Amino acid sequence: MTERTPLLHYRLSASVNESEQRSPPAGQAPEQHPGSPRQRSAHQRQPKKLSIFFGVVIPTLLSMFSVVLFLRIGFVVGQSGLYQAIAMFLVAYFIISMTVLSVCAISTNGALDAGGAYYMISRALGPEFGGSIGIMFFLANVCGSALYVLGLVEAIVATFGVPEDATIATSSYQILPSGYWWSLLYATAIALLCLLVCLVGAHIYAKATFLIFLVVMFVLGTIFVSFFAVSPRTIPLPSIGNPAANGTGPLLPTTANFTGFKLETLLGNLWADYTGDYTTGYMMTFTTVFAVMFNGCTGIMAGSNMSGELKNPSYSIPRGTITAVIFTFIIYNLLCVLVACSCDRVLLQRDYSFLRDINIWHPFVTVGVYSSTLSAAMSNLIGASRILYALARDDLFGKVLSPAKKTSHSGNPWVSVIISWFLVQLVLFSGKLNTIASIVTIFFLLVYAAVDLACLALEWASAPNFRPTFRYFTWHTCVLGIIGCAVMMFLINAIYASASIAFMLLLLLLIHYLSPTSSWGYISQALIFHQVRKYLLMLDVRKDHVKFWRPQVLLMVSNPRSSVGLITFINDIKKSGLYVLGHVQLGDLSTLPSDPLQSQYDSWLYLVDHLNIKAFVNLTLANSVRHGIQHLLFISGLGGMRPNTLVLGFYDDCLPKDKLIDPSLSSIQCTDSSGPSEPEQQPPLFHFTSLRGSSDRQDCGEFGDGKVLGPQEYVAIIADAMKMLKNVVLARYFNNFDRAQVLSPPSSSPGKGAVYVDVWPVNLLRPDSSSYVDTCSLFLLQLACILNMVRAWRKATLRLFLCVEEGRSVRGSEEKLGQLLKELRIKAQVYPVPWDQQVALHWQRQGEWGKKHSSQSPDATTEEKKLRACEEEEDEDYVNSFPSNATRLSDDYLSAVNKLILDAAHPAPAVRFLYLPRPPADTRRYTTYLHQLELLTQDLGPTLLIHGVTPVITTDL
């Protein structure tokens, strides 16, 4: 009926030693790769020798022939009629046929180990689904074992029990008292017998499997013969549930007829006639009858669980399982037709043991019922214990299931057997078979749906290693199986189905957050890869539009220990765009024995997890930092997902501070700072190079091998990025940036807890140009607006500073800027800032320079003439670029502008956005350019110098 879960039948005696040999030491993963030497040696010691018939057909048939075959086939026809009974079997076998196809596909893609469906699902879908479904499969086997025990008790009481309302026994062999507590006592005794067999004599059961199969087939043969050989007769009905027996209800018939083959009998049994179940008193419906009937259709995975003992699993499992399914389907439908043609409706509804009464020799059916139900009960108990043992061995639930790992000297998991028996005993308190039939059916339907889902996921993922030799399935059959299982679950009992799914999801979340990472592989990763590849191909860069622009950032990080603040801040302004952490390590691969970056990726990925950011990692090896960043700008991303913005830490002499120090590790390091094993004891997060003092720049400092990034190369990197049409952001003073502290300032502060973001959208190094609407200025506004859209920064206030000179219309400039902000849907406060004194300083220096160079001496060299011509050309070509007269900006002017920025903001903002001009065309002026940026941003706190090269904002709908 239900699954002959792993290590049953012939495998029981042979594989206990093998499972012990496969059991890993504590703390090691139980997974073994196919073809490993250890597995090959185990297979050599335990040769596969079972054929299709003994290894697949017999286990599957014994799993499917039991209670329903002998005790409930009349119940199904009597309640639902022949038409609906056949329809039920068609629906049930359609569902399990779809699942059989999935089972055959998965099982022929590799040998199964202990755990059956649990092993299948966990290795296909990962530990979360595998563990949760494994628990459900375990509970299904526990409830199935209890169901079979109750079925055996029902058969025993029907044969040897004294009716509850009878004063004397009607036959000499009716000697057992009846009643709930007596039935519970009998069930407990049978469960104890099963426990003893599972603890001591499991090998005896395995050896007797074929004998039990012969008995069941012989009894089945006598049943078919009896329909033709036995003459019509009157059969007394059980008095259980008959209200007329004690005078409390209407008079019901006490006898019914076995009529033989009659058309009148067949016509009376064609249509449904749902009545109360005489054993429980509950009113029957289509779904409740289907729930009982479906228990005779489970057990389809019994053969696949025997794959380790088969001569040719990929050949035997599909053929054996399908053969068993077809055979049972034919038998069930033939019995339905024979019963409907020869038995009164009353007999079918009120006597579940009628097959015994119409048999040519009554004890035949009794022996068949006893042997099949006892076999199935022990099978499910053994199966449940093996599933529990497999779950415990995989350490998915930590210490909770650790006792279930214990085995005897022979390898029998006796603790798992005891736990399973205890749960079976609890289920036995339900008292009646029909009471728990719905629960068992829903559990198995849920497991079957999960198997279909596993096969569907493997098929959709198109993994190259998913190559089952059984190919008679498609994703359509998997979907049909899932839908069929889900529909029938809710039709049988919506409350039980919802509770089962909720319990499974709870287990899934529990395992996801508590279990260690497994080495089984995650189907989710394969599916994500498959879908991402498909959508990346659909992401056409030719269809990009400014309306849907978003920042895609490449942040260059020298050492993450000093860059935590910047990494977390840039994560806020990416606006669901691509975010890549880039790092350049200096070196030449031709002189190295191996790629030094491969061992560093784990540390960077742990960093991403530790900081809880959504970023990718891209590392490169180059002979210089400039070439390395060029590599990353060229190759980072894929298709339409490529960085459009480069973020660099500022080049200054700020001392870096380690923001990744773990206090628990610092004490260890202080105790023993030497020793070769120390790096191995530290988690991968802390394998970054330690900061070594002032020689390290804040963010773009030392990259390794003692080489320091120079100012000339640093500015060249900025120029390279702009040539590649990448927006550039320089971040200064983010070494001490603490996002949580910045967004939650004390209420006693001057701003009373308010958070401000300041934007200066004018080129402060070009006082003769005060444009607020060029590409770069709009890029500043866009980034500031994006930051303000982040949930944590929504309460921040944008302050936009408008630099104005005396004599110009302040109101007009402010109105124009306000209208622009309104059209751009940006909410910001505009603050006009007079900067006449600063501009005067600039023009004063210009006048001095003009006097000095007003007339070109005849002695001027050709080189000086070329330089002046170059400067004049720059003035014409680059309105928004670094101007030629920037070389003539005095330090006094820059300091005055710096003081202007500081004085204009009260209270101080959390971060400032400033305009970054282009580097000069003359590379000899790179050092001057960097010096001016340093003076401009001196002591401003967290500041972003931003230069945008592409349109990123629009007023169009």
As a three-state string, the secondary structure of 253-274 is: CCEEEECCCCHHHHHHCCCCCC
pLDDT interval class at 542 (50, 70, 90) = confident
In degrees, rounded to 5, the angle at the alpha carbon of residue 193 between the alpha carbons of residues 189 and 195 is 115
Q: Over the Cα atoms of the chain, what is R_g?
A: 40
Cis peptide before 25 (omega within 30 of 0): no
The pLDDT, as a whole number, for residue 753 is 66
The pLDDT, as a whole number, for residue 511 is 80
Domain 738-744+756-846+886-956 is of which CATH architecture?
3-Layer(aba) Sandwich (3.40)
- Locate 286 and state its tokens: 């289509």
Residue 570: its H or E element? helix 564-572
pLDDT interval class at 235 (50, 70, 90) = confident
The pLDDT, as a whole number, for residue 808 is 61
pLDDT interval class at 633 (50, 70, 90) = very high
| Cα 679 to Cα 807: distance, rounded to the nearest angstrom | 66
**pLDDT tens across 870-909, in order?**
544 444 444 444 444 455 678 888 888 889 899 888 888 9
For 160-208, give the DSSP string: HBPPTT-SS-SSTT--B--SHHHHHHHHHHHHHHHHHHHHH-HHHHHHT
Residue range 108-115: mean pLDDT, rounded: 66
Nearest to 103 by CA among 520, 387, 448: 448
Instruction: Estimate the share of the chain in helix, then strand, then coil, as percent rounded to the nearest 5.
Output: 60, 10, 35
Q: CB atoms < 10 A from the CB of 251, how many?
A: 10
- Determine phi and psi for 856, rounding to 5 degrees: -85, 120
Residue range 407-422: mean pLDDT, rounded: 84
Q: How far is CA 569 from CA 3, 312, 565, in A?
A: 55, 59, 6
The pLDDT, as a whole number, for residue 29 is 40
Residue 945: its H or E element? strand 943-947
Q: How far is CA 378 from CA 354, 421, 694, in A?
A: 25, 10, 74
**pLDDT tens across 31-85, in order?**
444 444 444 444 444 444 577 888 788 878 887 887 678 878 999 999 999 999 9
What are 244's strand-pairing partners? Answer: none
Q: How far is CA 272 from CA 186, 227, 255, 709, in A?
A: 34, 23, 21, 87
Single-letter amino acid code for the residue at 72: R
Q: CB atoms < 10 A from the CB of 126, how many?
A: 22
Domain locations in the chain as residue ranges: 56-166+176-237+255-514, 738-744+756-846+886-956
**pLDDT tens across 373-398, in order?**
888 888 788 878 888 888 888 887 77
**pLDDT tens across 830-850, in order?**
888 877 666 766 656 555 544
| Cα 775 to Cα 725: distance, rounded to the nearest angstrom | 13
- Locate 362 and state its tokens: 């009554």
Domain spanning 56-166+176-237+255-514 has what CATH number? 1.20.1740.10
**pLDDT tens across 141-190, in order?**
898 889 889 888 888 887 787 766 555 555 666 778 878 888 889 999 99
Higher-pLDDT residue of 21 and 224 is 224
